[in-house]
Amino acid sequence: MKTKLLILLLIITAVFCGCSVQSPEDYYSSSSEKEGMEVLISINCSTILNNMDQLESGLESYVPSDGVILKPTKVTLGEKATAYDALSEACRQNKIQYEYEGTGADIYIEGIANLYEFSCGQLSGWEYCVNDVFPSVGCNSYDIQDGDTIKFLYTCDLGADIGNEFTGEE
């Protein structure tokens, strides 16, 4: 019995020693102590405004009247970062809900601010561009540079309505 109790205490101690305890205010703090690159990031779903008839019922309240979820905002990241890192940091600092699936280079953004793929039709979902170019790789595979401008844009037409004319050909 003593052995089991000792093991349990060791596990509890290991869990608490390995965890960082923060208040919600500290976690969502907009101040960043990181040194490294600075990028500009925005999140926009204005294409939904022209397709409200396709929007799933009950989601209307999540669509801002101007379609802007996050206006262009500076984010400081480490020396090496991806477009996903910029999104994650911007969402954390601005308390914006987002959800992804996958791991490593295979991360796929399912939803931002409660607006998900297929929320506004069969061809809808989130895409991103860096310096007005739509990369052909996932956001966690795209290494960003200091000074980049990153946009996460909601499309209702497989990218055609946001300027992504990707045809699948290189």
Give domain status of residue 11, yes or no: no
What CA–CA distance (Å, rounded) separates 97 from 68? 14
Structural contact between residues 149 and 39, judged by C-beta atoms closer than 8 angstroms:
yes
Give domain status of residue 103, yes or no: yes
DSSP class of residue 56? P
CATH of the domain at 92: 2.170.130.30
DSSP class of residue 141? T
Give domain status of residue 8, yes or no: no
Q: Is the pLDDT of residue 12 over 90?
A: no
pLDDT digit string, tens, across residues 133-160? 999 999 999 999 999 999 999 999 999 9
Give domain status of residue 19, yes or no: no
Domain span at 64: 27-162
pTM value is: 0.82
Write down the number of H helices and E strands in the chain: 3, 7
Give domain status of residue 125, yes or no: yes
Give domain status of residue 6, yes or no: no
Q: Can you say whether the dihedral through the CA atoms of 132, 119, 108, 68 is positive or negative? A: positive
What CA–CA distance (Å, rounded) separates 32 from 20? 17
Structural contact between residues 130 and 99, judged by C-beta atoms closer than 8 angstroms:
no
Q: What angle do CA 93, 97, 98 make, to 5 degrees?
A: 105
pLDDT band, residue 18 (cuts 50/70/90): low
What is the pLDDT of the chain when averaged over all its residues?
88
Give domain status of residue 51, yes or no: yes
Give domain status of residue 153, yes or no: yes
pLDDT of 144:
98
State phi, psi for 9 to the nearest 5 degrees.
-65, -40
What is the tally of structural domains in the chain? 1
